[in-house]
Structure 1
Amino acid sequence: MLEWKPVHFGRRPVPELSATSSVWAVSTAATLAVVVSFDLVGRQGGTTAGLVVLSLVVALASTGARLAAAPGTALLCWAVLNAFGAPPIGEITWAAPHDPVRIATLLAAAATGTAAARIAHARAAYGRLNP
């Protein structure tokens, strides 16, 4: 099968996006690290402070992702947070008042990180292309 690939000379105007599976792996590992560090300090990762720190980590991990990866990123990070950061530890449960807020917060963080990175890359590419 013949596959056409564009030939690029010099610098690319916009960086290539990361694979969705790579973004999911990095964000899940980062979430696990944040939740474990909160547990070692003696605070649970399911608290408001833990969710804020986790949202920042998710936004940072989503900077190289496609926007379509945001829902999966949010659900994977929520599953890690729910299993290891919120009581009962070691079980995935559904707490009706808290979990929809956690999922929405993580989804907003992933989408914001992706959109901010795309806008920054587009502005930088526009500046390189126009004198």
Structure 2
Amino acid sequence: MIEWVPLGSGARPVPRPVAAPLVWAGAFAGALSLVALLNGTVGSGRPGVALAVLSVLAALLGLCARFTAAPGTAVLCWLSLNGFAIPPAGVLTWAGRRDAFWLACLFGAALVGTALARLVHARAAYRRLTAESGPGGRGPGDL
């Protein structure tokens, strides 16, 4: 049985995800900054390290984004990875399997971050609703 609880009863809604353009702006600026930092510290030509760092960035951005922002986040991170993390810097190339793998990793990381956030928020909302019904009351999970 589904029990409807009015929002005025103290139940808080699940947080709204950030708009995709803001997530993409963060991906663009964050990816360029991280690649520049990596190039300055470990040097260019280390795409494995850059891919790992940008995948973490994509996952972190996914935590506050909608699922529809994942493709754009992956592409923006890939542009920085492809254009500046591998020599020659500033030149975009397409190396078939390698770049498809990089895009898949970045897209997967963004999706994992978003899915994780949705699960955590849904679980927290469920706990808030069941806790509000009290020990003697019926909660949404009670049949």
Where on the TM-score scale, by shorter chain, does this alignment land: which range?
0.7 to 0.9
Aligned position for 2:32: 32
Aligned position for 1:99: 99
**Distance of 1:49 and 1:80 partners within structure 2:** 13
Matched, 1:79 2:75: no
**Distance of 2:22 and 2:45 partners within structure 1:** 24
Unpaired stretches in structure 2, ≥5 consecutive residues = 1-6, 132-143
Which SS does the other structure have where 2:35 is aligned? helix
Q: 1:13 offset after TM fit, Å?
A: 2.4
**Distance of 2:13 and 2:98 partners within structure 1:** 42
Measured against aligned partners, the alpha-carbon deviations of 1:109-129 in whole angstroms (never above 9, x if no partner) come to 000000000000000111111
Q: What aligned pairs does 1:1-131 form with structure 2 within 5 A after superposition?
A: 9=8, 10=10, 12-44=12-44, 46-131=46-131
Is the 1:27–1:57 Cα contact (8 Å) retained in structure 2? yes
**Distance of 2:72 and 2:45 partners within structure 1:** 20
**Structure 2 length-normalised TM:** 0.80
Q: 1:44 offset after TM fit, Å?
A: 2.5
Is the 2:11–2:129 Cα contact (8 Å) retained in structure 1? no
Cα-Cα RMSD: 1.8
Taking structure 1 as reference, are residues 75 and 46 closer, same or farther at Cα in structure 2, changes over 3 Å only? Answer: farther
Unpaired stretches in structure 1, ≥5 consecutive residues = 1-7
**Distance of 2:104 and 2:50 partners within structure 1:** 15
How many residue pairs were aligned?
125
Taking structure 1 as reference, are residues 79 and 129 closer, same or farther at Cα in structure 2, changes over 3 Å only? Answer: same
**Distance of 1:21 and 1:93 partners within structure 2:** 25
Between Structure 1 and Structure 2, whose CA radius of gyration is higher?
2
Is the 2:78–2:106 Cα contact (8 Å) retained in structure 1? yes
Is the 1:78–1:103 Cα contact (8 Å) retained in structure 2? yes
What letter is aligned with 1:99? D
Is the 2:55–2:109 Cα contact (8 Å) retained in structure 1? yes
What letter is aligned with 2:110? A
Q: 1:27 offset after TM fit, Å?
A: 1.5
Aligned position for 1:3: none
What letter is aligned with 1:89? A
What letter is aligned with 1:107? F
**Distance of 1:113 and 1:105 partners within structure 2:** 12
